[in-house]
Amino acid sequence: MKKIIGLLFLMFLMISCKTGNEGYILPTSNGNTNKIMVVVKGEDWQGKIGNQIRTVFGEHQVGLPQPETLLSVSQIDPSGFSSFMRHGKAVLIIKKGAKESITVEKDRYAQPQIIVHATAKNEAGILNMLDKRGKEIIQLFKDEDVRFTQRIFKKERIDETGFKTIKNIGLTIDIPKRFRLVEDSGDFIWFRQHLRSGIARGDGTNNVLIYTIPLVDENTVADNITAVRDTIGKKHIPGSKEGMYMITEQAYTPFTFDAIIDGKKAYETRGKWEVKNDFMAGPFVNYTIIDKKNNRLVIFEGFTYAPSVNKRDFLFELEAIAKSMKIK
């Protein structure tokens, strides 16, 4: 009887576990966000194909104080892509084949995992594909990283129903519990996370702001993003002394792109902030969402203060939080 119970329990565990394409239980993938492993022959990595990969994936993320690439890449030869090396979270396989294609596999050898296969007939075809479709490949990895990060944040999210501003605006958002409330006025809310590791000048911070303003003219929204954030900074984000407050860095023009948040037209703006009459500064990412139903703009802004360390991954977490937002 005990053997039967034990066997049934084992069968239950096997059924409950995630299985791969070949039916076996998948191990947990390894690797950090914004990092990919490229599977390509060593001779190609040292030649034109490797140079093209480094050029495409080595593009700098806009809005950061120091140069940082969109994605970090490492290389492994196909002969070494076996055993635990196949458990990478994000893998790009470059290979030659009869037909040019970009295909995606999910959870092939581990979970969660994305493998992008980029295939072309010869070296010239691979170079052309990387040139023409490199941004598409990057976006596949970035989108998967956003989903991966959001799944983590969803498990440890704050209960936003207790905050006046979020309730008044009418939205849901997955903000991790490590963020603490700074201000909740009813029409403006500010959360802050302290970053204690590796910061030269005391504690660094990651910050989330959410607020709304009336929608006056949809055609001028993008042009007014900087002016709006400067007004909010003067009112809500003070410096250490009177007359000091956060503004958009005057020596650096922000970059604005089209975006979609919760199925709604939005603008993504990346740039640098500074404190007026002080030396504090850092990067920000702003999502201005056109909420036509309620005739308003819903604005999410994340900004980071982390002197002496790279900031790409901090901004990426703020991006993932913003893209979890649902407006009721």
Residue-wise pLDDT tens digits, 258-293: 999 999 999 999 999 999 988 889 999 999 999 999
Amino acid identity of residue 125, one-letter, is G
Q: Are 135 and 152 in contact (CB under 8 A)?
A: no
pLDDT at position 279: 84
User: What's the CA gap between 87 and 27, in Å, rounded?
Assistant: 7
Strand partners, 172: 326
Per-residue pLDDT at 113 exceeds 80:
yes
Token pair for residue 196? 């204690």
pLDDT at position 15: 39
Backbone angles phi, psi at 119, to 5 degrees: -120, 140
pLDDT at position 2: 43
Which residues have CB under 8 Å from 316's CB, separation 6+? 33, 34, 145, 149
User: What's the CA gap between 89 and 100, in Å, rounded?
Assistant: 24
Q: Are 275 and 245 in contact (CB under 8 A)?
A: yes
Strand partners, 180: 192
Per-residue pLDDT at 198 exceeds 70:
no
**All domains of the chain, ordered by start, with CATH?**
18-154 (3.30.379), 158-327 (3.40.1000.10)
Mean pLDDT in residue range 101-119: 95
Q: Are 266 and 301 in contact (CB under 8 A)?
A: no
pLDDT at position 197: 58
Q: Are 225 and 267 in contact (CB under 8 A)?
A: yes
The tens digit of pLDDT for each residue in 286-317 reads 999 999 999 999 999 999 999 888 999 999 99
User: What's the CA gap between 76 and 87, in Å, rounded?
Assistant: 13
- The half-sphere exposure of 251 on its side-chain side, counting CA atoms within 13 A, is 6
Average pLDDT, the chain: 90
Give me the residue label for tokens 């790409």. 312
Q: Are 299 and 267 in contact (CB under 8 A)?
A: no
Token pair for residue 77? 């030869």
Bridge pairing between strands 114-120 and 90-96: parallel
User: How many angstroms separate the Cα of 272 from the Cα of each of 10, 110, 184?
Assistant: 55, 38, 24
The DSSP output letter for 184 is E
Token pair for residue 113? 């995992």
